[in-house]
């Protein structure tokens, strides 16, 4: 950029923004926003930070704090997920016994307290998920306790206009709904996602996550019991959570022998 262009662009900047940038506290997080030629000039004048009108970085409730094990990724609550249609590869085929043993799942009955959609930005590549807060009423397997409220990552957002293959059961979730859930207990080792030179340790934002959106939840709804009846042939005719509970307890006893 030559001297004249630099001077012309710089003259377009309101002095109050320069003053704000210079006086911006050093311990605040740095926010960089591309803003054409003006922003480029501004970055030269104030090399530490770029401040634009209507930017409010001090709203931690809208942005997740992440550990050092996650990098090049940002996560925000976003209740208005875009209309998307996503097809995934076919689910791996498991026997009923394998559905209880392939993954380290905790199994509990509980009530869905809230459902919040989130936007995950992997260095410019975005994906959309949801987090459910579930209050535990009964534990069948795992280290959680009755009365605990746990967070569970869902493999898709919960909103109209969004369709993701193999998430039929999870998509039926609503606040206030009771169900039996079989999510994976997250650790740093089993919960990381890597895309586009970015990494997210999902444990940073949720206690648990479902292996898929079809086979690891049983929901009591106004329209009856919803679960993947094809995968659970033994209880394919089940109509109540009590029947599912009896089946799970029987299966766990069998697997412990």
Could you please report the per-residue DSSP string of 15-66? Answer: HHHHHHHHTS-TTSPP----BHHHHHHHHHH-SS----TT-----GGGB---
What is the model's pLDDT at position 162? 63
Query: Is pLDDT larger for residue 59 or for residue 74?
Result: 74
Mean pLDDT of 169-196: 94
Other Cβ atoms less than 10 A from the Cβ of 197: the count is: 12
Q: Are 201 and 69 spatial neighbours (Cβ–Cβ below 8 Å)?
A: yes
| Whole-angstrom Cα Rg for the chain | 24
Q: Which domains does the chain have, with CATH numbers?
A: 3-58 (no CATH), 84-256 (2.40.50)
Other Cβ atoms less than 10 A from the Cβ of 100: the count is: 18
Least confident among 101-105, 137-141, 162-166: 162-166
Beta-carbon contacts of residue 53 (< 8 Å; ≥ 6 apart): 17
Mean pLDDT of the chain: 80
Mean pLDDT of 79-93: 67
């Amino acid at each position: 950029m030559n001297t004249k262009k630099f001077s012309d662009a710089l003259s377009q900047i309101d002095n109050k923004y320069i003053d704000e940038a210079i006086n911006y506290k050093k311990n605040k997080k740095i926010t960089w926003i591309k803003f054409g030629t003006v922003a480029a000039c501004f970055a030269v004048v104030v090399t530490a930070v770029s401040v634009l009108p209507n930017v409010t970085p001090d709203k931690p409730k809208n942005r997740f704090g992440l550990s050092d094990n996650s990098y090049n990724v940002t996560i925000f609550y976003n209740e208005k997920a875009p209309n998307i249609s996503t097809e995934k590869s076919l689910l791996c085929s498991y026997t009923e016994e394998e559905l209880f043993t392939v993954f380290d799942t905790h199994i509990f009955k509980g009530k869905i307290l809230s459902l919040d959609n989130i936007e995950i930005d992997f260095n410019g590549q975005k994906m959309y998920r949801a987090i459910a807060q579930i209050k535990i009423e009964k534990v069948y397997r795992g280290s959680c306790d009755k009365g605990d409220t746990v967070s569970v990552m869902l493999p898709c957002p919960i909103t109209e206009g969004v369709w993701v293959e193999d998430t039929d059961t999870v998509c039926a979730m609503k606040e206030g709904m009771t169900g039996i859930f079989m999510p994976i207990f997250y650790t740093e080792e089993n919960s990381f996602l890597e895309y586009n030179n970015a990494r997210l340790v999902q444990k940073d934002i949720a206690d648990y996550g479902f292996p898929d959106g079809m086979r690891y939840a049983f929901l009591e709804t106004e329209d009856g019991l919803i679960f993947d009846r094809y995968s659970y042939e033994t209880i394919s005719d089940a109509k109540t959570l009590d029947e599912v509970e009896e089946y799970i307890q029987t299966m766990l006893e069998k697997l412990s022998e």
